Amino acid sequence: MAMVTTLFFAWGFCTVLNDTLIPRLQVIFGLNYTQASFVQLSFFGSYFLFGPPSSKLVDWIGYQRTMVVGAMAVGLGALLVMPAAAMASYPFILAAEIVLGAGVTALQVSANPYVAILGPPSSSSSRLNLTQAFNTLGDTAAPYFGTQAFNTLGDTAAPYFGSILILGSAAGTVARPMGEAAVAAYRVQQAASIKLPYLLIAGVMVVIALAIAFARFPHLEVTRDFRTGGLGGKQDSIWNHPHLYLGAVAIFIYVGAEVSVASYLVKYLAEPEIGGFPLKTGAKLLSLFWLLTALGRFAGSAAMQRLAPNRLLAWAGVGAAVFVLASFLGHGLFAVVTIILVGLFNSIMFPTIFTLAVAELGPLTGRASGILIQGIVGGAAVPVLMGWLADRYGIHHSLFVPFLCYGFVIFYGLRGYRISPGEPQSEIHAV
């Protein structure tokens, strides 16, 4: 459990470092919101492309070895950023993001279900929320790491470090040179600021891959049908389980909403009518956004020992929708505080949707995991839509997109998670 938790931190860090990379690339390459959204399109699009192959990889070589392959792929993608930055090539950077995303996809497909079944099924939502909290701590650190140089713990760390290494010199890069040669030299010089964080990521992922490769993981049997009554010898199909494919839709929409808010949060807080903050300050506030997500997951993990996960999910959806709408209608400090508080309500959504969606699937758990991870492609699609609206109507008005998304999360927590009467099931998840 401790070993797998380090993966959650690491991929959270990699994922959210993009949130500080995007405003930096906008400065370097003069990108509008739609063009900048291609970073998330490349990274999260990999989930859709590599989700099914990753689930097959789990079937072929098991959870542990798939984690090793995923960690090495993340390291490779991070190393590819080095020549991409040296060439100051935006397409090359996008290609590196695809490789990074492929590696994180393999980690997600293997680690999430492994944690879900690594213990009593009755506490799987609580357990996955706990490990995802470390994921978001990585998210929190990444933005700060980018200005100067655990997944939710990774989420928490990424903005802070991103503000240091990636955005630290952004304040002095307002004036762009004239002439093709001068612009090319300017881009190479400014792109150098993104190398160090990705070089460090590559080194850390290789170490993690080696540690997991030589660790002794318990073998978990997920190929047998443990469900009461089984299927009477009949072949099961994922399409017999509406709570699974509705869960994939819920993950698509939730991740799209979360990534949309986080990707544009730094620039949103820089708007004069919102906060007027410098990019570096906005990245540190992004760390606060992810820190609230981490704290919410720790609290949610404890709360699920007593409360039904689906009800907490529905209330979290209500809270996120209310605070996005408040920021959409507000201005100044009120709009800043309310949009940051959305992170608190995002906290339990992914791990709770995931565990509700794989409940009672027995031998289909591996395939189900691949399908659910494919749903993360929402992080590629929805930000493009929000960026398109931001270019035409302003970043403030584009918040209406995530507001609508949280409506489906509420539906899944109230009704979509339910296992239909015709499905074989046990009494584990009766709520």
pLDDT at 430: 32
| Tokens encoding 212 | 């997991």
What local confidence, expressed as pLDDT, does residue 367 receive? 77
Q: Choose among 291, 98, 274, 90: nearest CA to 194.
A: 90
Helix (H/G/I), strand (E/B), else coil: 307? coil
Q: How far apart are CA 424 and CA 223, in angstroms?
A: 16
DSSP annotation of 150 reads -
Compute the Cα dihedral for 136, 390, 382, 338 and give only its sign. positive
| Helix or strand holding residue 243 (H, E) | helix 242-270
pLDDT below 70 — which residues of the chain? 1, 116-179, 218-237, 362-363, 421-431
Determine the 3-state secondary structure of 94 from DSSP. helix
Distance CA 247, CA 254 (A): 10
Pick from 404, 111, 361, 382: nearest CA to 252: 382
Q: Please tell me the predicted confidence (pLDDT) of residue 235.
A: 58
Name the region of 373 (left: φ>0; alpha: ψ -120 to 50; beta: rest).
Answer: alpha
Q: Among 14, 221, 47, which Cα is nearest to 138's? A: 14
pTM of the model: 0.70
| Token reading at 398 | 């584009």
Q: Give the closest residue to 269 by CA, choosing from 287, 293, 296.
A: 287
Total residue length of the chain: 431
Contacts of 81 (CB under 8 A, 6+ apart): 93, 96, 194, 195, 198
Question: Domain 2-215+239-416: which topology?
Answer: Growth Hormone; Chain: A; (1.20.1250)
Q: Is 218 left (phi over 0), alpha (psi -120 to 50) or beta?
A: beta
Nearest to 160 by CA among 281, 51, 72: 281
* Contact (CB, 8 A) for 171 and 189: no
**Predicted confidence (pLDDT) per residue in 286-331, tens digit:** 888 988 988 888 888 788 878 888 999 999 999 999 999 999 999 9
Query: Which DSSP string corresponds to 185-230?
Result: HHHHHHHGGGHHHHHHHHHHHHHHHHHHHHS-PPP---SS--STTT
Residues with Cβ within 8 Å of residue 411, at least 6 apart in sequence? none
